[in-house]
Amino acid sequence: MPTAPPQNATPNQTPAPQKRLDFFVIGAQKAGTTALDFLLRQHGTIEMATGKEVHYFDDESLDWKNPPPRPLHARFDWTRPGLLRGEATPVYLYWPNALERLNAYNAQAKLIVCLRHPSFRAFSHWRMETKRVRETFSFEQAIGPAGRARVAAEPGGVHRVFSYVERGFYAAQIQRVLALFAREHVHFLRTDRLWADPETTLAQVQHFLGVPARPLCGEQAYIVPLDSSDLGGMPRGARADLDALYSDDIKTTAALTGLDLADWLSPAYAEPMVEKGMTILTSPTRL
């Protein structure tokens, strides 16, 4: 949900009206956006927002006829010249009107979209909300008729918490992105590639952003802040149901993005990342 800048945040100079952020990581939720945000922060020519997830373009309390940029711009130090500035709020891909607002703010912005196998994304999302004690349904209930009815009953048919299934229908969300932004301004990546080969995946993102390539250092590591591995693995029946539900959408998503997603269609597909702690690099140090 929309949050105010941390009180100890030092960036506080309001930029000139012509100043605009250069790029956004817009989704998907539970698809590696925190890891990517962490890695981008290590680059000397990139400034990420003070605190991940500004939640500016999904803030329904703002006057979007004349939106004030300060809630977004206050997260950056605009006294530092020559930096590429960006932020990561994964709900932008899913939330109604967020992309339209972003386009009105900067139609030339570059967008990064992380895509995770939708069945695994849904399960990871459910585990997170269960650990946060915002979900009482079992996973099977949450993705079934009763669980999805909670989403359908909300205005616009969207829900910030219970949208486990809905957020995984990537194709329609991507079509909205491509209707608003030039294809060359959008970079799609597979989350499983980010975990399995962070060096190559990060190099591709850096190339897309137009910044000098900076290899990963051995001491850099990202560990997920919320370990939900004690909740166990995805129930086999639920996995099969979701795979069948998403099959056509995965094919359309592959055609839209140019990503090879053929292995996602296999019931034998498994994610390469280690669930407990989900370290993607070598250092055991917790952030």
Threshold 0.85, pTM exceeds:
yes
What is the DSSP code (8-state) at residue 217?
A: P
For residue 189, CA distances in Å to 114, 131, 200, 202, 235 come to 5, 27, 11, 10, 27
pLDDT at position 284 is 30
Binning the chain into helix, strand and coil, the percentages to the nearest 5 are: 40, 10, 50
Amino acid symbol at 196: A
pLDDT at position 272 is 84
For residue 18, CA distances in Å to 35, 105, 266 come to 30, 10, 48
| Residues ≥6 apart with Cβ < 8 Å to 273 | 192, 195, 196, 280
pLDDT at position 15 is 46
pLDDT tens-digit map of 96-138: 999 999 999 999 999 999 999 999 999 999 999 999 999 999 9
Which contiguous run of DSSP H or E holds residue 188? strand 186-190
Here the tokens at position 287 are 């952030």
Say if residue 156's pLDDT is above 90: yes
Say if residue 8's pLDDT is above 60: no
Say if residue 226's pLDDT is above 80: no
pLDDT tens-digit map of 239-251: 999 999 999 999 9
pLDDT tens-digit map of 31-78: 999 999 999 999 999 999 999 999 999 999 999 999 999 999 999 999
pLDDT at position 1 is 46
List domains and CATH numbers for the chain.
23-265 (3.40.50.300)
pLDDT at position 273 is 63
For residue 28, CA distances in Å to 10, 25, 81, 106, 114 come to 29, 9, 30, 20, 6
Say if residue 219's pLDDT is above 70: no
Task: Give the pLDDT band of residue 230 (cuts 50, 70, 90).
Answer: low
pLDDT at position 6 is 38
d(CA 224, CA 230): 14
Say if residue 258's pLDDT is above 90: yes
Q: Is the dihedral of CA 34, 15, 80, 188 positive or negative?
A: positive
What is the DSSP code (8-state) at residue 206?
A: H
pLDDT at position 142 is 98
∠ CA 283-52-174, rounded to 5°: 105
